Amino acid sequence: MFNFKPQDDIQKVPYFDDVKASDGWEGHTTGKSLDKLQSEIATNLSLVGCIFTGCQKGSYGDRHGFQIHFAMKAEGGQGIPSRLDIACLPLNPRKRIHTRRRGKGSGDWRIEATQKMALYMTAKAIKGMYFLNVMSPAYIPFLSLMLDKKGQTLGQQWIQAGQLSALLPPPMQNFKEDGDVIDGTVI
């Protein structure tokens, strides 16, 4: 009778070449080095109780990116291995680029620029998590980034296989009130 098809509201990732500060994108013109930005990420991770252990360059398909490795401090003092995967904005393959001489050789200057932008925004986002953690004590930053024994994040497990059903609330038919539940009306 009804043939409803939901709209896919998946946001298209813009090309690095097309972003502007006036649209809310930051860091695409930063003069900070990759090392300086990684240092800022390490500092900001320490604000939320994490220990930076490294940063590895790589790629996600046609996008450059990073894996930021860190440990979350557990209550007993041990570190819980965690990983933050960062994909840089993609480069528009149809844009003409002018290669510049950079040290030992020439190449596409946009590669380093999109990497800097990704690290800049990541450092800023982590600092924002610190502020949110202070304002909302129940907020737990990076919970979904903890690694399992196979090196997969809890977030990946949740998305790919739904293996974290233990974290979901119990089904209503199995839920038993134990007298500690307070029923009320919020005004």
Q: How high is the pLDDT of residue 178?
A: 45
Do 88 and 117 touch, CB atoms closer than 8 A?
Answer: yes
pLDDT of residue 48: 92
Q: Supply the pLDDT for residue 152.
A: 84
**Which has the closest alpha carbon to 65: 122, 10, 109?**
122
Structural domains present in the chain: 16-92+105-149 (3.30.160)
- Strand, helix or coil at 186? coil
| pLDDT confidence of residue 28 | 87
d(CA 23, CA 153): 31
Q: Which residues of the chain, if any, have pLDDT below 50?
A: 1-2, 4, 101-102, 170, 172-187
Determine the residue type at 7.
Q
| Distance from C-alpha of 80 to C-alpha of 74, rounded to nearest angstrom | 7
Q: Nearest Cα to 68, choosing from 154, 157, 145? A: 145
Residue 58: per-residue pLDDT: 93
For the CA atoms of the chain, what is the radius of gyration?
A: 21
